[in-house]
């Protein structure tokens, strides 16, 4: 892993930004570069994952059917959107979007944290109730009681769900 400390943070201006780069070889996916920036002063954080080979824009669909599926590896680039149609949730890429290498459980936990924040901070009773229902549904998925489909769309093709069960389709359009 290459690491460069003491860089100037573009947000707070302090020289506490750490730049990191690492090359990973992910089975059945290939070699990727993982980049990250983290500021020790203002907590700014940005990360991304980029395939070392040229890939086509893609849509990856995966159905969680059991607890075992929570262990399936996920590679998500900062350009990818993640959708969970059964929960009517989607996250589209933007300037704050991060790339990461995780598993299905980690991906669900990212959604869960956002829903918990909504549940805990909303003044709207209906919104709090909806958040509680979503969390209950996610808990049932994690227990293996309820199936759930995840869709990742990536115009750069730098994302993947590493499983024979994952359905990969080429998306129209160019990178």
Q: Where are the domains of the chain?
A: 1-53, 55-175
- The CATH number for 55-175, chosen from 3.40.50.1820, 3.30.1370.60, 2.30.33.40, 2.60.120.1040, is 2.60.120.1040
| Residue pair 65/147 in contact by the 8 Å Cβ criterion | yes
Q: Which two tokens stand for residue 78?
A: 């900062």
Residue-by-residue pLDDT tens, the chain, 175 positions:
899 999 999 999 999 999 999 999 988 788 999 999 999 999 999 999 988 888 899 999 999 999 999 999 999 999 999 999 999 999 888 777 889 999 999 999 999 999 999 999 999 999 999 999 999 999 999 999 999 999 999 999 999 999 999 999 999 865 4
Q: Name the residue among 71, 81, 64, 82 with its Cα closest to residue 138.
A: 64
Instruction: Provide the 8-state DSSP code for 132.
Output: H
- Cα gap 97→92, rounded to integer Å: 8
The phi, psi pair for 67, rounded to 5°, reads: -60, -35
User: Looking at the domain 1-53, which fold is it?
Assistant: N-terminal domain of TfIIb (2.20.25)
Q: Which residue has the tokens 């954080």?
A: 45
Task: Give the predicted TM-score (pTM) of the model.
Answer: 0.84
| Residue pair 78/111 in contact by the 8 Å Cβ criterion | no
């Amino acid at each position: 892993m290459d690491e460069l400390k003491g860089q100037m943070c573009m947000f707070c201006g302090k020289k506490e930004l750490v730049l990191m780069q690492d090359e990973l070889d992910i089975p059945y996916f290939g070699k990727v570069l993982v980049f990250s920036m983290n500021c020790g002063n203002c907590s700014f954080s940005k990360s991304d994952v980029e395939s070392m080979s040229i890939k086509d824009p893609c849509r990856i669909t995966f159905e969680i059917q059991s607890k075992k599926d929570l262990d399936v590896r996920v590679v998500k680039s900062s350009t990818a959107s993640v959708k969970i149609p059964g929960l009517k949730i989607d996250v589209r890429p933007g300037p704050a979007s991060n790339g990461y290498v995780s598993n299905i459980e980690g991906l669900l936990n990212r959604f869960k944290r956002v829903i918990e924040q909504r549940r805990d901070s909303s003044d709207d009773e209906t919104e709090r109730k909806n958040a509680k229902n979503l969390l209950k549904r996610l808990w049932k998925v994690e227990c293996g009681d309820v199936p759930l489909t995840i869709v990742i769309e990536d115009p750069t093709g730098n994302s993947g769900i590493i499983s024979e069960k994952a359905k990969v389709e080429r998306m129209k359009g160019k990178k």
